[in-house]
Every structure is written in structure tokens, then in C-alpha cells.
Amino acid sequence: MTGRFNQAIETARCTGRWQALLLCMALLLLPYSVWAADLDSALAALAGASLSKVPAILEEVEAVGGEAAVPAFTAMLEGDLYYRRSDKRVVRAVRDDAGQYQLSDPLSGASLGASEKSALRKVKVSNRVRIHLRGAIARLTLSSEDPRQRLRAAQNLLERPDEDNLPLLRAAIETETDPDVVELLQTALALNLLQTSGDSEARLGAVETVAGSLQPAVRNQLQSMVQRDDDGNYGEEDAAVREAAQRALVTIDSRISFYGSLETVFFGLSLGSVLLLAALGLAITFGVMGVINMAHGELIMLGAYTTYMVQVLLPQHIEYSLFIAVPAAFVVSGLVGVLIERSVIRFLHGRPLETLLATFGISLILQQAVRTIFSPLNRQVFTPDWMSGSLQINSVFSLTYNRLYVFLFALVVFFVLQLVLNRTSLGLNVRAVSQNRSMARAIGVRADWVDALTFGLGSGIAGIAGVALSQLTNVGPNLGQAYIIDSFMVVVFGGVGNLWGTLVGALSLGVVNKFLEPVTGAVLAKILVLVFIILFIQKRPRGLFPQKGRAAE
Amino acid sequence: MKLSKYFSKAALLAGSVLFSATLHAADTIKVGVLHSLSGTMAISETTLKDTVLMMVEEQNKKGGLLGKKLEPVVVDPASNWPLFAEKTRELLTQDEVDVIFGCWTSVSRKSVLPVIEELNGLLFYPVQYEGEESSKNVFYTGAAPNQQAIPAVDYLMNDLEVERWVLAGTDYVYPRTTNKILEAYLVAKGVDEKDIMINYTPFGHSDWQSIVSEIKKFGSAGKKTAVVSTINGDANVPFYKELGNQGISAEDIPVVAFSVGEEELSGLDTKPLVGHLAAWNYFQSVESDENEAFIAQWKAFIGDDERVTNDPMEATYIGFNMWVKAVEKAGTTDVDAVEQAMIGISTPNLTGGVATMNKAHHLSKPVLIGEIQEDGQFEVVWETDGLVDGDAWSDFLPGSKDIIADWTAPINCGNYNTVTKTCSGQNM
């Protein structure tokens, strides 16, 4: 190459400067383009390759391209790698809003125009290929500039130990500056040492290095060292090392079990917050107004379908759809609630049995209406990206975002509702009418309107619950049925007419359920909770927080 | 008198209608369709009703059967198990159908069984099921456990080197029986009981957090772990979603499902499911001439280009074609004659092979494992070398090891003990 370069300089001397510069540049670029062509042709082999041949091709691509191949690997991992049927050109294809596929070069990212789906064929990917891809990306990005990418790479290398990666790890640890990545790399090296080293001093040191780590790989390694195999020999022959491993294991196990119970509490609170959301609306219609509303579940369902409709109408704004859906669902379910109250429930005042039957009928009508309009099949509600995935606190403890947000959302709804009931004139009227109807009317409260608005408020809250549930469960005509029993259970358990009772009742039932579940299984846990509530109601018929004084009459 | 004139006119009219109806009946062969068109199972079963109607229409275009037209009689048992028995009785005694295509859930089949045996009808059952049954009056065109569950476990064990197993299912008869068979099979293969975790959840379960977290812990013990899922219906969606949210990918812990097919995936956010597995005897993505023709025919019949095909549809297709062949061979639609003619009949399946009806009233089928793709289709990653013969009675359960079904002379029994050489009734 230097020869060529010299030659070019020679030529530059002979001819004009301008041309020389161009030539120089061309010559400098030459090796790059040769190498890019190699990578391109290596990548081209993926077009139409059978699954069994793909790993070999990927190895070739990795060897030729190095870090330059990473964009293509990432595209392949995400399932965006296609090839054109016409010329077998491997491309990255992403579906745009119009249903067309936007093509780009998988390596450089240069646009290659749009195409129909039918003109493309997907490059086959299976789990084995994905594992291979992740490994390759980890190897290639261990020296990347992005610390998050390095962290991911180190994590991958730790989880899938391979002796061939040792030199890579050693080289990376020399230059690494990010403390998290350094820790992972050290752990990976120490694990490798534990598996291969014959020097017991070194192994002892390695055990101390990994002692504080919660990585599953560490625990498994230590476990295998202190356990006897089939012949009665310990995995680790040196007693001192074994003892250190045992000590480390005890610490790790106690930390894991601590985080385990923390996790269970979170699961319980999360289930509780779902119950709370579902029950809050009912706590108003049933608790405050005393209407047994069997159509409550269907009002939740309407909220969920509103979310679906918002996403259908605004397909470009999935990320924000929930923020639009919350007020929309409140309005839709609230209006339906007012309609139910005005057309049916107000004529049945003080006749609980008839109200129950009538609202049960309404629930069937609403279900069938949804079946007729939207089909009996479940509807697909998308989860925005900010609600997917989990908040990783450490390798044994993580909180899923959707549950976390739903929990916070339930608390917000609860406190806003408290404010409305205790700090606004509507709230004052509602409390007045629910405590003494005729007295309230005597001092000029329009009880009829207050009834309608209260019922609308409770129904609107049910609609909001539907928005949250659409992120956790299936949106279909039967959605409401699944929650109506739980809602009544929570309200009765917490104490009719008391919002704080509903909060405490919902959260405690959730936590109890989740602590029972690992012991008894999901089916029995539900039954036990129900039996517990029956016994509890026998003992305290007015629930956890009964209303006291004359209001309770 | 005006009134009497009316009466006589009405009588005449009624008489002619009745007459034409009987004439009509004599001219056609009636095909009963017993699939729920309302209730919870309507989602899955309506498709099969349409498949039978499509097959009938096509057969009529070819000139019918034995020189007569086929006439479908559709009833709606409404996902109500006792109603299945009533509707079967209605089809056999009032409509006098010659054959019934129907049922989805095992409990509906169990409900139909006594009626169809009492009245000597003929039922084609097109869905994968738990086995442990063989009736003279039923042909099982879906997969028995050895044609779906066992090969799937073999694939995980041999190809993915899975050592730890989670058997997760919905709490009813099919998952419980299948898991019992699988557990016995795994133990026989030398898997330690400690490496098997069994979990049942109620229908429509949606709060999967603690179960998924348990699976995650179970799977982090350093041995390759897989989930064998008999979770039914829409409980699958929140399950896969939770797997995705807790960061468990198909590469770490693959889930192989026996009840998730193209129909279930259509209209779903498939992102969290990509890479997970399903075991069936047919996928829409299989490339064969028969399959392409079938898919085109289905889309044209239903008038919707987005509709998918699935495994129970293929089972219905095979069952219908076999019945047509058997009737042609027997020269009559008489149940006993057709039943005998059925055994040994072969028709092409949709995956490029041939399905043959065996003596136990089960089919020979290829077993395919597919990975879920983002478009809701499956990419076949593994298949059995040849066809697997359906085994009514599992070889891995202590109670049914020695039992076989053979509906040919001299045994003529659905529950024959090869050790004691006795036939203990039909199905018990």
C-alpha cells in the first residue's frame, strides 16, 4: 500500500495538484472499498440461506467486517433484515405508516427507496441464530464508545462464558473506565478463573472478587463448588476455598431472599392497585349511593375499548395515546353511566333487588353491543414503549414499568377522587345526599342531579380503570366480568361508603394473594382469599372501616 | 265459505311444502356441523364451521357424492357442554344426518360421546386432545399426545439441550392429562423430579407477575430451561407480555405452546412472542401445492385476504376428504359400512404428505415445531423425519400402557388390554 501511495505522490508531482488530490483520495479509499465489498458479499450470502447455514455465514461476516457489521447484526436481531427477491440484495426494511417498507443499506444506513412487502423475503432467524448474534454483538461492542452498549456486552459475555473470549475480556478490562462494566468484566474473569485455574490461592482470590455479586452465574458457580457430585467429591477440592465459597453463598442467598420478599410485596401492591382501580368507581356508586351496579364491569370494558378506539383513530401517536384515552374514557363511561342512571336506576330507588336485576340486564346488553360492533374477538391494544420492559435494580430484582405506572396511576386517581369528594361543592352535595336525602333536598340540593352526577363520576372512574387494564389484560367483551366480583369483594371488605377502606382493602388483598400464590398456586390462593373474606364478613359485617354514627343507619 | 277455502288452501300449501321437503331429503346426503357459534369458544369454532361449509360447497361443485348433493345442517351448541349432547341427539334423530363434524373442547366431546354411541352416529373430531379414548363412532383427526407434546419435548431435549422443565397449564382436563403424560415421559428419560416445575392457573388468568418471576428464578439455576405451555385461550397474551416485560427472551427460556396457532395470533401484538415456539401438525407457512390451493380457496370463500388457516382446519379438511373417500368406497352412507371403510383410507394432507387412518381411529401426521414470527406466522425450525402414527392410549401412563384400540376383527375394541386380553367396554 505504501508503494502505491508513493506512486501516487510521484504521479501527483507529474500532473496537476487537483487531479493528484483526487487520485490520492481514491487510493486512500481503495482498501476501504475492497474491504466493504468483502463485507457486502459476505453479507449477501444470507439471502435465502437455510437456517443451518446462517451461523457459518455470520462468523464470516464477523471476521471480515468487525465492528462495521454491528448495524447489520442488530437489524437481523430485531427481525428487520430482508432481501429483495429481484436481485437478492440484503437490505434493512422497516414498515412505515403507509404500509410500505422503507429500505436501507444494513451497513451504511443509506436509503434504498421504498418497496412492497411482496418484493421482499425475510432473512431467516431462529433462537439459535439470535443467541449467536447477541454473542457476536457483545464481542464486537465490548470496546464501543457507548457505555450502555459495553455494559450489555459485558453482561452477555458473563452469562454465556466461553474460553475463547478470555483474551477479549482481559484486553477490555485494561481500557475500561466505567465502574459497572469493570465490575462485570472482573466477575466474568473471576468465574472463568474458578472454572479453569489449578492454583487454589488464585481461586480463593476469585471467590472474594465475586462474593458480593448477585449474578445468577456467580451463584451457580459457587453452588457447584460446594456440592458433592455423584462420586461424593466436592466440586472444589481445597477446603479453604470451599469454605469461602460457602460463606459467599450464604450472603448471596440471604440477599436474594430479601429481594425476593421485596418483589412479592411489589407484586401484591401492583395486584392491589388493579383491584383498587376497578373498585374505586364501585366504591362511589355502591358505597356512597348504595346502588348495586352489576354493569360496573362493563363500564370498565367501555374504558378499555375507548383506549382501543383512540389508538385506531391516532395510529401515529401510540406513545401518547394513553394520555388522550384517560379523559376520553372518563367521558364515555361517565356519559353511559349518567344515561343508565337517568333511564333506569332513578326509577328503582330504594329497591336493591330490582336494581341488581336491571343493571345485570344492562351489563348483558352492553356486552352484546360491543360484540356486535367490534366482533367477539379480543382487540389489540398497543403498549407504548415507555410502558414496556422493566426497571432493573439489580440482577435479581426488577420492577416492570407497566405495573409500576399502573400502581402510581391508581394512587393518583385515588387522591384526586378524595379531593373531589372532600374539597368541592359537588363532593359536599354528594355526601349530603348520601347521608340524608330528604334533609339535603329540604335545604335546596337537587338530589336528582346529584344522583346522576355521582353515578356518572363513579362510572367515569370505572372507564379510567379500563384504560389501565387495557395495558395489563385482554381487551374483549368479557373483560368486565373478570373484575366485577373482585370489585364488590374489595368494597365490601374495606367497608361500604369509605374510600380509605377501599384503598387499604384492595392493597392488603393484593399482598395477601401474592404471598399465598407461591405456596398454594394461583387457583387455591384465590379460593383462600374468598374464604377469608367470607369469614371476615361474618365477624365484621360492615367491613374494615365501618361508617359510624347516624350516617351508618 | 271463505274460511274453509282458506283452510284448504293452507293445507294444500303445507302439503306441497312437506312433500317437496321429503323429496329434497331423499336427494341429499346431510352433513351435520356441531360447532359453537356463540359463547366463549365461538372465536375458534366458527372458523371450523366455515371450513366444513367450504368443503361441502366444493364437493357439490364436483357433482356431490354417490350422485347426490351434500346438504349441510348447522346447529349452534353455544359453548354449552350439555347442549352439545342435546344438539347431537337433534341432528341424529330429527335431521337424520349421515355424519357430524364438530366439537372443540374435550369436555364437549365427552358430552357428545354417550349420545353418538347410543344412536350409532359418526363424529369427526378435528382438534388436538389428551388421548386416552377411542370410540367406534368417532374419528380423531387432530393430534394425540404422541403427535404433539412428546415430539415437542424431544426437540427441546435433543436440539436445545433443555434440562429443566416448567409445565404450565390452564386448570382443566387437557392440560392436566397432557402434563401427567409429559411428567412420566420426562422421568422415564432420566430427568430429576427437582428439575420439573408444574403450575396451573385458572381460565383467563391475567396476573402473571409472580408465576413468571418464579419461572425466571427456576430458570436461572445454570441449566437450560424451557416452558411447555398448555395455557389455553386468551390467558396467553398477558403471559407472553409479562415474559417480555420481565426480560425473559425466547433465547433464555423458550416457551413451546400447544394451543397457540395462527388464528390466536392474528390481531395480536406479536412483538413479545417472537422466537417462542409452537408444536402443530400444520402451519400456514408450510410450502406445498395443496396448501397454497387450500389457502387461496379459503381466502376466496371467506372473502377476506387477511384470514389465516390453522391446524384444526387442516384436520377438518383431512377428515372431510377421508369421509368422502370412505363413502365412495362403501357405496353407502351407512355408519357401520363407512366406519369399516374408513380404516386404512389415505388422503393427502396439506404439508405435502399423506394421512392414513389407523385401526384406533387416529391419523398418521408429521410433527412440526415453528418459531413465532413478527407477522403472526410460524417459521418451521424442526420436523419429524416421517409421519407419526396417532396413539390413542399413551405408553407413558401406568394405567394405559398395556391398552390399545383396534376397531378391526377380531379385537373390535377401543380399550383392549394386551396383557389380560380383555376388552373393558369402549372408553373406560
Residue position matching grid coordinates 440461506: A49
pLDDT tens track for A171-229 = 888 888 888 888 888 888 888 878 777 788 888 888 888 887 888 888 888 888 887 77
CA–CA dist A278, A472 (Å, integer): 13
Mean pLDDT of B263-289: 86
- Do A376 and B43 make contact, defined as CB atoms within 8 angstroms? yes
Mean pLDDT of A225-240: 77
φ, ψ dihedrals at A351, nearest 5°: -125, 80
Mean pLDDT of B162-180: 91
- Do A478 and B40 make contact, defined as CB atoms within 8 angstroms? yes
Please name the member of A271, A474, A526 whose beta carbon is closest to the beta carbon of B238.
Answer: A474
Q: Which of B37, B79, B167, B213 to mutate to test the interface with A (most CBs of A within 10 A)?
A: B213
| Residues from chain B contacting residue A390 (CB–CB below 8 Å) | 245-247
CA–CA dist B375, A82 (Å, integer): 13
CA–CA dist B122, A400 (Å, integer): 52
Predicted confidence (pLDDT) at residue B18 exceeds the cutoff of 50: no
Those of residues 250-269 in B touching chain A at CB distance below 8 A are 250-251, 254, 267-269
Q: Does A530 touch chain B (CB under 8 A)?
A: no
Q: Within a 13 Å sphere around the CA of B320, how many CA atoms are in the beta-carbon half? A: 27
Task: Grade residue A19 by pLDDT with cuts at 50, 70 and 90.
Answer: low
pLDDT tens track for A133-180 = 888 888 888 877 788 888 888 888 887 777 777 778 888 888 888 888
* Cis peptide bond N-terminal to B114, omega within 30: no
Lowest mean pLDDT among A110-119, A264-273, B313-322, B377-386: A110-119
| Residues from chain A contacting residue B166 (CB–CB below 8 Å) | none
Mean pLDDT value across chain B: 88
Residue-level pLDDT at A14: 43
Task: Grade residue B369 by pLDDT with cuts at 50, 70 and 90.
Answer: very high
Q: Does A377 touch chain B (CB under 8 A)?
A: yes
Closest chain A C-alpha to B220 CA, distance in angstroms: 6
Q: What is the ipTM of this complex?
A: 0.78
Q: Does B213 touch chain A (CB under 8 A)?
A: yes
Closest chain A C-alpha to B118 CA, distance in angstroms: 35
Residues contacting residue B255 through CB under 8 Å, at least 6 positions apart: B226, B227, B229, B240, B243, B276, B277
Q: Does B158 touch chain A (CB under 8 A)?
A: no
pLDDT tens track for A309-352 = 999 998 888 889 999 999 999 999 999 999 999 999 989 988 88
- Do A514 and B210 make contact, defined as CB atoms within 8 angstroms? yes
| All domains of chain B in start order, with CATH | 149-257 (3.40.50.2300)
At A334, the amino acid letter reads: G
φ, ψ dihedrals at A103, nearest 5°: -100, 145
Lowest mean pLDDT among A325-329, A369-373, A407-411, B17-21: B17-21
Comparing B345 with A201, the larger pLDDT belongs to B345
Mean pLDDT value across chain A: 84
pLDDT tens track for B110-131 = 999 999 999 999 999 999 999 9
Residue-level pLDDT at A6: 47
- Do A130 and B250 make contact, defined as CB atoms within 8 angstroms? yes
pLDDT tens track for B39-89 = 767 778 889 999 999 999 999 999 999 999 999 999 999 888 899 999 999
Residues contacting residue A544 through CB under 8 Å, at least 6 positions apart: A493, A494, A495, A501, A504, A505
Q: Count of residues for chain B?
A: 428
Q: Does A418 touch chain B (CB under 8 A)?
A: no
Spatial contact of A470 and A322, defined as CB atoms under 8 Å apart: no
Task: Grade residue A36 by pLDDT with cuts at 50, 70 and 90.
Answer: low
Predicted confidence (pLDDT) at residue B1 exceeds the cutoff of 80: no
Residue A399's DSSP bridge partners are A391
| All domains of chain A in start order, with CATH | 158-237 (no CATH), 259-552 (1.10.3470)
Predicted confidence (pLDDT) at residue A30 exceeds the cutoff of 50: no
Q: Does B207 touch chain A (CB under 8 A)?
A: yes
Spatial contact of A307 and A444, defined as CB atoms under 8 Å apart: no
| Residues from chain A contacting residue B250 (CB–CB below 8 Å) | 127, 130
Please name the member of B210, B274, B275 whose beta carbon is closest to the beta carbon of A518.
Answer: B210
DSSP 8-class letter at A124:
P
Q: Does A485 touch chain B (CB under 8 A)?
A: no
Lowest mean pLDDT among A6-10, A133-137, A542-546, B205-209: A6-10
At B286, the amino acid letter reads: V
Residue-level pLDDT at A549: 62
Predicted confidence (pLDDT) at residue B13 exceeds the cutoff of 60: no
Mean pLDDT of B235-253: 86
Residue-level pLDDT at A550: 58
Comparing A548 with B146, the larger pLDDT belongs to B146
Residue position matching grid coordinates 465502574: A179
At B257, the amino acid letter reads: A
Comparing B6 with A526, the larger pLDDT belongs to A526
Q: Within a 13 Å sphere around the CA of A145, how many CA atoms are in the beta-carbon half? A: 0
- Do A400 and B209 make contact, defined as CB atoms within 8 angstroms? yes
pLDDT tens track for A101-145 = 888 888 888 888 888 877 888 887 888 888 888 888 888 888 777
Comparing A19 with B38, the larger pLDDT belongs to B38
- Do A274 and B42 make contact, defined as CB atoms within 8 angstroms? no
Those of residues 107-126 in A touching chain B at CB distance below 8 A are 122, 124-126
Task: Grade residue A238 by pLDDT with cuts at 50, 70 and 90.
Answer: confident
pTM of the model: 0.80
Q: Does A384 touch chain B (CB under 8 A)?
A: no
Predicted confidence (pLDDT) at residue B241 exceeds the cutoff of 70: yes
Q: Which of B46, B160, B207 to mutate to test the interface with A (most CBs of A within 10 A)?
A: B207
Comparing A345 with A380, the larger pLDDT belongs to A345
Question: Any alpha helices (H) in A471-521, and if so which ranges?
Answer: 481-494, 499-520
Q: Does B373 touch chain A (CB under 8 A)?
A: yes
Predicted confidence (pLDDT) at residue A415 exceeds the cutoff of 60: yes
Predicted confidence (pLDDT) at residue B333 exceeds the cutoff of 90: yes
Predicted confidence (pLDDT) at residue A98 exceeds the cutoff of 90: no
Q: Does B199 touch chain A (CB under 8 A)?
A: yes
Those of residues 28-57 in B touching chain A at CB distance below 8 A are 40, 42-43
Those of residues 289-348 in B touching chain A at CB distance below 8 A are none
Residue-level pLDDT at A3: 44
| Residues from chain A contacting residue B247 (CB–CB below 8 Å) | 389-390, 392, 398
Residue-level pLDDT at B425: 64
Residue-level pLDDT at B110: 92
